[in-house]
Structure 1
């Protein structure tokens, strides 16, 4: 289990992580989401003992990374698949890790088999690996010590659709056997499929967290009408937050009954009005992090 409590980190005047707290539980895949620069990587580096915290704590099964004897047998970490010695073979990379951890060399073959790297592939120099093969090697390294916790940053980078399906199956099986997985990815569709819990960070602070079902169930109303612009202005004028909805229409942070009355008063004919259930992860993510997005629509 990973526990982060009141974690903060400053770089001069810049606050990278601001009083962040969350838990990544055994038996569950926790998706860690946020725009570029939101604080995800800094938080993960602090958990992995690579960056000191300014204040607060990050523990793995109750202990900080530096206080765990042979930590790679407790938490497997992949933060940058490209940060591997290009002159070694894949097998040599894992054998060196096994020696460092005091593991039998048989674990190398087991790890290579888990990530579907063949003997021929594991005998190549890492400089000749594709990004997808480096990802597989990095995941093998993370799994080598048979840890109870996995922390992976963008593990699907460079994987083709079959590779992404493989990774999803691997991580799901790992969690189902009782492991805790903290997974950061920009592939929101994959997070939506595999994650049990979601943590959304923006500007260094947690903006939402909970089970996937809780967060995607949403609140408020989804409404489509004969004049969405006019209805959106009427809803906003009533002091209710309103957002564009995928496929047209709007999502409003009020009950369908309230939105129905506003539409009636504005004399806007409705074509659809229902509770805001079934929101997609991408839509929820963009709404929660809209103040942190680099890319804004024209005229925004």
Structure 2
């Protein structure tokens, strides 16, 4: 099990991770979500001993990563698929990993077959790999030691739809066999399909966490008007959220009566006002991280 408790990391005056706590349990895929710069990668780097924490701790199976003997046999890590020696072949990368972990040579062939890298591709230099091929090689290296825990940062980057479907099945099967998966990704639909639990981080702090069912349950109000800009201003001025919805209106965290009252006081005619359906992951993500997004007016 992965356990993060009161984790804080500062770089000078900048707080990258601010009192973060969560768990990722065996048999579950935990989706770790947040905008760029929210603190996801820093948290993962601390977890696997690549960055020192300022305060708090992160453990795997009750141990700090650096204290685990032969950690590759217990924890599979993929933080950057491009961080591989470009002059080595794919087979050489895995062979060195296998030797370091004390694994038999045939394990390399098993992993190459698992991630669908052909014998010809395995002989090519990594510098000549596409990003998708590097991702497959990185996943092979993470699984090389048959670990019980996987820590993956954006593993679907560069994969085509077939590759994403393959990875989804691979991780689902891994978790079903009792493995622990902590998965960071910007592909929200894929996370929604595969994750059992979700952790949302913004500006270095956890803004929501729980099971997928808990976080995506029906809540709030859907509203649409003849002047959505005026409605959005009125809702924001009243301290209510107004997150654009794919249905041509807004989703607000307030109940319909409160939203209707604000619209009436602002003189905005409503076209539709009803309790919101269960939010999709994208809408939930945008609502929870609205004040951390880079889109919009940057003046």
Distance 1:34 1:140 in 2: 26
Aligned length: 299
1:164-190 CA-to-partner distances (Å, cap 9, x unmatched) read 111111111111111111111111221
Contact 2:243 2:283 in 1 (8 A): no
Q: Which 5+ residue runs of structure 1 have no aligned equivalent?
A: none
Equivalent residues in 2 for 1:157-236, closer than 5 Å:
157-236=157-236
Structure 1: distance between partners of 2:289 and 2:7: 20
Equivalent-residue separation in structure 2 for 1:273 and 1:210 (angstroms): 28
Deviation at 1:54, TM superposition (A): 1.0
Deviating more after overlay: 35-44 vs 257-266: 257-266
Do the aligned residues in 1 keep the contact of 2:220 with 2:276 (CA within 8 Å)? Answer: yes
Shift of 1:242: 2.6
TM-score w.r.t. the length of structure 1 is 0.92
Query: How many Å separate the matches in 2 of 1:82 and 1:232?
Result: 42
Structure 1, residues 155-208: CA drift from partner, whole Å, max 9, x if none?
111111111111111111111111111111111221122111111111111111
Aligned 1:101-180 pairs, distance under 5 A:
101-180=101-180
2:31 corresponds in structure 1 to 31
For structure 1, which segment, 247-256 or 50-59, has the greater mean C-alpha deviation from structure 2 after superposition?
Answer: 247-256
Alpha-carbon distance in 1 for matches of 2:298, 2:68: 52
SS of match in other structure, 1:98: helix
SS across alignment from 1:45: helix
C-alpha separation in 2, matches of 1:250 and 1:82: 40
Residue of structure 1 equivalent to 2:296 = 297
Q: Could you tell me which residue of structure 2 aligns to residue 55 of structure 1?
A: 55
The answer to whether the 8 Å contact 2:46/2:52 transfers is yes
Report deviation, 1:91. Answer: 1.2
RMSD: 2.0
TM-score when normalising by structure 2? 0.92
Q: Separation in 2 of the partners of 1:14 and 1:262?
A: 38
Matched-pair contact (CA < 8 Å) for 1:111–1:143 = yes
Please state how far the C-alpha of 1:62 moved relative to its aligned partner. Answer: 1.0
Change (3 A) 1:236 1:21: same
Contact 2:232 2:242 in 1 (8 A): yes
Whether the 8 Å CA contact 1:217–1:276 is kept in 2: the answer is: no
Q: Which moved more, 1:98-107 or 1:256-265?
A: 256-265
* Structure 2: runs of 5+ lacking an equivalent: none
Between 1:221-230 and 1:136-145, the stretch displaced more is 221-230
